[in-house]
Amino acid sequence: MTTALTSHPEPAMRRSRVNPKVLVGGLVVALPLLAVLVANLGRDPHSVRSPLIGRPAPAFSLVPVGGGAPVSLEKLSGKPVVINFWATWCVPCFEEHAALTAAARGLPDVQFLGVVYEDEEARTQEFLRQRPSAYPSLIDPEGKSAIAYGVFGVPETFFIDGSGRIVDKYVGPMTRSTIAALVGRAKEGAR
């Protein structure tokens, strides 16, 4: 055993011939695994499938921030609606605010709505004064609408088609392209 320490076999003795069993066996395990991982890379775990998808959107009638006539979902029917649950204390909401505002300006045939989630009206008003929004944000007293929509964190955004059915739900901050894609589906109508 100890002789192995001193006597080095000549490097020339190393014969590098591929062991086909090892190579094929390894590839049989490795390639499908890699393929599955690659196939799932584009997958977005944020698009959680809510049980509400395909169902009629829960009705609400809520007063906008700063007062005014209540906005109710029924009166908007015929038009795709995007409902974004947000709050001033939520950093990702802040990030997506600009994208949502821009999308709302670019898509006049879609009604965008914000629903303020667990926040004070004064702080919301201040937030919206600094960063004007292109659509109304509604006050949701006691979070009843949030509960009806099964919101478990902000931001969460619901896409509703012209017939008032929820087409998709997105969890987390959105970019303009995600908004455009999901609005497209809301315009097509429910699957």
* Interface residues toward other proteins, by CB under 8 A: 1-2, 4-5, 8-9, 11, 13-20, 22-23, 26-27, 30, 33-34, 36-41, 43-46, 49, 87, 89-91, 117-118, 152-154, 172
Q: Quick one: 69 or 91, whose CB is closer to other proteins?
A: 91
Token pair in block for residue 8:
């080095």
C-beta of residue 99 within 8 angstroms of C-beta of residue 134: no
3-state DSSP helix/strand/coil % of the chain, to nearest 5: 40, 15, 40
Distance of closest approach, residue 56 Cβ to other proteins, in angstroms: 22
Distance of closest approach, residue 26 Cβ to other proteins, in angstroms: 4
Q: Measured between alpha carbons, how far is 62 from 115 in angstroms, rounded to an integer?
A: 9
Q: Quick one: 102 or 152, whose CB is closer to other proteins?
A: 152
Distance of closest approach, residue 167 Cβ to other proteins, in angstroms: 17
Q: Quick one: 13 or 69, whose CB is closer to other proteins?
A: 13
Q: Which amino acid is at 52?
A: L
Q: How far is CA 105 from CA 21, 73, 134, 186, in A?
A: 62, 20, 6, 17
Q: Quick one: 5 or 69, whose CB is closer to other proteins?
A: 5
Distance of closest approach, residue 32 Cβ to other proteins, in angstroms: 8
User: Three-state SS for 23?
Assistant: helix
Q: Quick one: 17 or 129, whose CB is closer to other proteins?
A: 17
Distance of closest approach, residue 74 Cβ to other proteins, in angstroms: 29
* Torsion from C-alpha of 65, 142, 100, 125, nearest 10 degrees: 30
